[in-house]
Structures are given as structure tokens and as C-alpha cells.
Chain A
């Protein structure tokens, strides 16, 4: 229920998750752009990119600008997922079965996005 938000309630938990997620992504994207601008490699703006999750950690350790950008985009895209996951946990713990099911369904849709997106 909305109305006056209770301190420590789900509203505030979700608000924190969203804010931290977006702020982290913005910092990563900014760092990635600076690293890309400073490097000698060329990043063509109009060409598609395939983000390889497997090689991301190695590229990040090499300080690759593109890898920082990819990580920033990933953090941004999992931020809504994180807030659905947190809601699911809260509904499950409070015994609200209908809403645990509804949020589980949304998690399933997001999982399908990953699954079907990777292998359409």
C-alpha cells in the first residue's frame, strides 16, 4: 500500500536500490568514457557491440574502457531486477503469497529476457 511511507518499509528499500544502482552505473559509464577517450583504440559510435560476459573480468583488469562501459550498462539493466528480487524476498518473508508469485513471475520474465536474448 502506498500512502505515508513507513521508514524502513519496502518503498524505502526499493528507492535505495534504484538510487544506488543508477549512481553506480553512471560512475562506471563516466569512467569508461574517460578511459575510452584516453586510449588509442577507436570506439565507433554507430556500430553494434557484442558484450561477452565471459571475457569481461579479464578486460576490466586490463582497464579497458569498453569493458567499463559494458559493466555500467549491465549494472543499470540489473538494477530493476534487483528491486524485483528484493520485493520478492520481502513478500515471501511476510507470507504474502499472491505477491510473492506475481514478483516471481516478473523475475521469470527477466530471466527469459536473458535466456531468449542470448539464444533467440
Chain B
């Protein structure tokens, strides 16, 4: 049978498991509706609601991110929205960042979970601010052509699903893009988030990639990034199987329901609600990291 170790959560093993399934399902559902990935909600929920060590929460989040983004990337590849060459170029940096972040977490910070919690706070706040902005307009700056992007043929075109016309875009800013990708990867391996919420606006603003393509390409890259990190946690013993299995199955179910049920989700309300949740989570995690909150 499956039981929680120690007395946290609701006290009864069965109720704990039900709460875990419900919270993970909600994280997958809301993450997919808002397009921000579930890790951002899952890690705070796991440490605050269940008092889990942050390493276990990060590992569970990374494994579930691999599952949800691989499923989502599969659909977007078929729809032709993923720029494979651009993704495989940038994921050299995200994967390296993911590996580095995870290594720091399981070695230097192995017994300093409070420092990881402290580092999570600004990431949650920045994500909440980005979410608060809502759907941002496309930003294409006039930038000089990028020789590396030309040489690697990173530019592309896609068929706009609304107008039906084929739109070309020219990729620039490979250096800036790689830097942002590396930082997003580092945050992913260190803190168990996907990092898409930072990478997508950066790809749009600095690399001239349309948001739809940036989002789909980022989703594909996150699988490799989260996997590079998760493998490190797996070998360090932080992948608690009895935790990860229900979390992954619930997050995947939540994300599947969000994508396949044609329901008019109240996106704006939901976004406001989750910004509120993130603000509260950031405050509680800060108190926890400082030892004020047990």
C-alpha cells in the first residue's frame, strides 16, 4: 500500500493521497489552460501543503514536466508550430543549464533546502508579474541580421491558423537567446520549473520569433532540459517513486483535460486567482526559508 512517511498533510494516508492527486491534477489543468506549465504551481504546493523537502518537490515537478511538455510538444510538432532547428540550437544552453542547476542543488545545496526556497521566491514573483501582464503583444524590433542564425538556417515560416496566410520570420539575436536559454535552464534544474515563462518573451523580444512559434519551440526544449535535471535528482535519490507516480499521472490527466475539453475556461479570472496564489506562496515560502514558518 501507499502511505505518507511521517505525519504531514491531512493526517490520514488515504486523505493525503487524495489531496496529492487533487493538487497535482489542478496544477496540470491550470498550467495547461494558462500555458505556463505546472511546475510553477506544483513546487510551492508540494512544499507548503505537504511539508516535503524541496528537493523531492523539485524532482517530482521535473519528472511531471517531462511528461506534460512531451505530450504537448508532440501535438504542436504535428501542427507545424515547432521550429526544430531553433529549438535544437537553444536547447544546447537550456540542457547545460538544467544539468548545472540540478548538480548545484544535489551537491552544494543538498542540505540547504532553505537557500533553494529563498531562490524560488524571486522566480515565483517574476512569474506572477509576467502572468499579471496577461497576453502580451508581439514585439519585433528592427535588428541587424545575425550571421550565425543565417548560417544555421534558424529562420522559418508558419501558417497563421486564423488568417491562413504563410508568415515568414527572420531569427536574430542568437547570443542573447542562448544567454536567456541558459538562465531558464539553470532555473529549471535548480528549482523544478519549466522556465518557458521567461524564455518565450525573450525569444519574441530579442530573437524576433513569433509568440506561437516561441511557445511551441520552448515546450519541445523543456523536455530535454527537465530530463537533464531530473536524471541528476534520480541518481541522488530525490525521485521519491511513490510521490512521483501519482503526481505525474494527475498532472498529465489535468493537462490532458485542459487541452482536450473544449470548455470556455475563464482564463482571465483564473489568471488573477493564480497570481494571488503565487503571491501568497511566495510570502509563505519566504517565511519558511527564513525559519519563521515551520
Listed in ascending order, the chain A residues whose CB lies under 8 Å from chain B are: 1-5, 10-12, 14-16, 18-19, 21-22, 25-26, 29-30, 32-33, 36-37, 39-51, 66, 69-70, 72-74, 76-81, 83-84, 87, 98-99, 102-103, 105-106, 109-110, 112-114, 116-118, 120
Is B207 part of the binding interface, using a Cβ–Cβ cutoff of 8 Å?
no
Q: Is the CB of B224 within 8 A of A18?
A: no
Q: How many A-B residue pairs have CB under 8 A?
A: 237
Do the beta carbons of B213 and A2 come within 8 Å of each other? yes
Query: Does the CB pair A45–B4 fall under 8 Å?
Result: yes
Q: Which listed residue, A2, A33, A40, A99, touches B245 by the CB 8 Å rule?
A: A33
B170, CB-defined interface residue at 8 Å: no
In the complex, A90 Cα to B224 Cα: how many Å?
18
**Of B74, B82, B248, which is in contact with the most chain A CB atoms at under 10 Å from its CB?**
B74
Contact status of A49 and B240, CB under 8 A, knowing A109-B99, A110-B228, A116-B103: yes
Top 6 A-B residue pairs of the complex, sorted by shortest distance between their CB atoms: A44-B5, A117-B235, A43-B242, A117-B232, A15-B77, A80-B223
In Å, the complex CA distance between A15 and B174 comes to 26
The answer to whether A3 and B80 touch across the interface, beta carbons within 8 angstroms, is yes
Please give me the residue from chain A that is nearest to B91 by CB atom.
A106
A117–chain B nearest beta-carbon distance, Å: 4
Q: Which residues of B contact A106 (CB under 8 A)?
A: 88, 91-92, 95, 224
Question: By DSSP majority rule, is chain B's interface helix, strand, loop, or mixed?
Answer: helix
Contact for A77 among B84, B156, B227, CB less than 8 A: B227
A-B residue pairs in contact (CB < 8 Å), sample of 23: A12-B77, A14-B220, A15-B78, A18-B71, A25-B248, A29-B248, A33-B249, A42-B2, A45-B4, A45-B246, A46-B8, A49-B237, A69-B242, A69-B244, A77-B66, A98-B152, A99-B152, A109-B92, A109-B96, A113-B102, A117-B231, A117-B234, A120-B232
Q: Which residues does chain B contribute within 8 Å of A103, judged by CB atoms?
A: 88
> What's the minimum C-beta distance from B27 to chain A, rounded to whole angstroms?
16
Q: Cβ of A102 and Cβ of B88 under 8 Å apart?
A: yes
Partner of A44, one of B3, B158, B244: B3
- Cα-based distance from A38 to B291 in the complex (angstroms): 40
A44 to B: closest C-beta gap in Å? 3
Binding site for A on B (CB under 8 A): 1-6, 8, 16-17, 20, 50, 52-53, 56, 63, 66-67, 70-71, 73-75, 77-85, 88-89, 91-92, 95-96, 99, 102-103, 106-107, 151-153, 156-159, 166, 213, 220, 223-224, 226-246, 248-249, 252
Contact partners of A51 in chain B: CB under 8 A: 234-235, 239, 241
